[in-house]
């Protein structure tokens, strides 16, 4: 073996070791035949193993239900209820006002019947085994909820995806008489609650991601980096093909022949920080901001001797507006006794006049921060706010988070703030 050939083999061996692969080089050399072809054979083997190893780095496990909760949301799909009855070969007895359609999943179609007689509870049937017979399938959970004189149905069902795989579906239907959703009057809404769990390693550390339904070229892959059971779309979600860095090395996922693969990326990006831990008992984030009155305010240092509720809201947010009466009640009762509120507006640019007019009309007097950036608000991104209203109660002395939305919503707010202040005065902890 020449020096050049030996050098090539050493480089291949190092590459394989780096990729976590093993290869019996002596056996490959023996099978290669002549010295001149050995380096070429080994290099080809290395490339082959590299490709196989990359795909093998990700292991897939099918999950029949519960994926929606793991990915932190779902993508609704529509199924028209205007198909001909010919899609069904056998229907349940006693139908009074049936509407027919089918749910499409990939290349498979599952017929359904929505029986919606006037003045009676509706029923939903799904051809789970796709045999055209809707009498030999498991019953579909289908329950109604009435609000504002309108009835909305929701439930779940299962379909046979393959011979050995059953997948759960989330199902819902708006009242066909709802004028706000007239375009959905003949539509069944559904989403996949089944999918896959993919396990892999990043710099030797184990991670996993869940995908609802099936993988696509633009799939978003949620990764619970901190293991708290929640996924931040800002700090813990990766799009297929986009470089990411969670552990110090830049990686990228790819879809190859329908399989999820993972490999190091040619493009290097900075390591992404972990999402902020804003659980009760943790320290609140510190920041400096300018209020709408032009005052610079340091949080939470500006609230020494007090407790302050950090409120992320917007004038267009109905639930935010619904909380204002409770906040005003608490503010009026406890402001002089050590309670304060700092509002962070998610309103868009050029809306300062509208925000001020709204504050005046609502007689809101506590300080407000308005950047005019909507969802791109700096403080919103800093706190990983993905939905509003988002609230935290913070001790101005210690910076400790005393409570979150679970305790700071609804008509009991004033009473809760009172207990917090009493316990604080007595030097106690309040559950």
Is residue 222 within 8 Å of residue 386, measured between CB atoms? no
Reported confidence tier of residue 230, pLDDT bands at 50, 70, 90: confident
- Stretch 24-31: mean pLDDT: 38
pLDDT digits (tens, 9 = 90+) for 399-416: 999 999 989 999 999 999
Interval 356-368: pLDDT, tens = 999 999 999 999 9
Banded pLDDT at 135 (limits 50, 70, 90)? very high
- Arithmetic mean of pLDDT, 386-395: 95
Quote the percentage of the chain above a pLDDT of 90: 76
Of 34-48, 154-168, 383-397, which range is least confident? 34-48
Query: 300: cis peptide before it, omega within 30°?
Result: yes
Is the pLDDT confidence value at 7 over 60? no
Q: Name the DSSP class of 208.
A: E
Tell me how far apart the alpha carbons of residues 60 and 64 are, in angstroms, rounded to a whole number: 13
Mean pLDDT of the chain: 87
Spatial CA neighbour of 307 closest among 287, 290, 328, 284: 284
Residue 14 has pLDDT above 60, yes or no: no
65 with 72: CB under 8 angstroms? no
Query: Bigger pLDDT: 11 or 81?
Result: 81
Give the domains, in start order, of the chain with CATH numbers.
1-32 (no CATH), 75-192 (no CATH), 197-264 (no CATH), 287-426 (3.40.30.10)
**pLDDT for residue 428:** 58
Residue 251 CA to residue 247 CA, distance in Å, equals 10
Which pTM was predicted? 0.72
* In 223-357, beta strands by DSSP E: 237-239, 244-245, 250-256, 259-264, 287-290, 296-299, 307-313, 339-345
Q: Among 226-230, 261-265, 427-431, which stretch is predicted with the lowest mean pLDDT?
A: 427-431
* Helix pair 3-18, 35-56: axis angle to 10 deg: 10
């Amino acid at each position: 073996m020449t020096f050049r050939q030996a050098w090539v083999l050493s480089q291949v061996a190092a590459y394989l070791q780096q990729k976590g692969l093993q290869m019996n080089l002596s056996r490959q050399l023996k099978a290669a035949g002549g010295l001149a072809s050995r380096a070429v054979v080994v290099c080809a083997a290395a490339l082959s193993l590299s490709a196989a190893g990359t795909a093998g780095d990700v292991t897939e496990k099918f999950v029949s239900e519960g994926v929606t909760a793991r990915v932190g949301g779902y993508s609704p799909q529509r199924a028209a209820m205007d198909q001909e009855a010919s899609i069904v070969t056998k229907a349940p007895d006693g139908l009074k006002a049936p509407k027919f359609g089918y749910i499409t999943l990939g290349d498979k179609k599952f017929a359904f019947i929505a029986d919606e007689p006037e003045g009676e509870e509706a029923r939903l049937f799904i051809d789970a085994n796709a045999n055209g017979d809707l009498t030999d399938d498991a019953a579909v959970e289908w329950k109604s909820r009435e609000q504002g004189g309108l009835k909305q149905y929701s439930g779940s069902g299962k379909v046979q995806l393959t011979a050995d795989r059953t997948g759960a579906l989330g199902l819902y239907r708006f009242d066909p008489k709802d004028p706000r959703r007239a375009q959905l009057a003949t539509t069944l809404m559904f989403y996949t609650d089944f999918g896959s769990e993919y396990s892999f390693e990043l710099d030797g550390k184990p991670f996993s991601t869940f995908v609802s339904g099936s993988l696509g070229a633009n799939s978003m892959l949620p990764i619970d980096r901190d293991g708290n059971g929640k996924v931040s779309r800002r700090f813990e979600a990766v799009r297929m093909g986009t470089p990411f860095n969670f552990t110090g090395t830049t990686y990228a996922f790819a879809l190859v022949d329908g399989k999820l693969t993972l490999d190091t990326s040619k493009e290097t990006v900075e390591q992404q920080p972990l999402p902020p831990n804003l659980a009760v008992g943790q320290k609140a984030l510190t920041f400096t901001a300018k209020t709408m009155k032009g005052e610079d305010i340091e949080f939470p240092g500006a609230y020494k001797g007090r407790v302050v509720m950090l409120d992320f809201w917007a004038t267009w947010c109905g639930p935010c507006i619904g909380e204002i009466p409770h906040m005003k009640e608490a503010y009026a009762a406890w402001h002089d006794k050590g309670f304060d509120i700092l509002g962070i507006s998610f309103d868009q640019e050029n809306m300062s006049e509208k925000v001020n007019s709204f504050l005046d009309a609502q007689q809101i007097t506590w300080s407000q921060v308005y950047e005019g950036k909507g969802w791109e608000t700096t403080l919103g991104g800093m706190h990983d706010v993905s939905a509003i209203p988002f609230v935290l109660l913070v001790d101005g002395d210690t910076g400790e988070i005393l409570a979150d939305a679970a305790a700071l919503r609804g008509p009991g707010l004033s009473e809760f703030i009172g207990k917090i202040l009493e316990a604080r005065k007595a030097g106690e902890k309040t559950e």
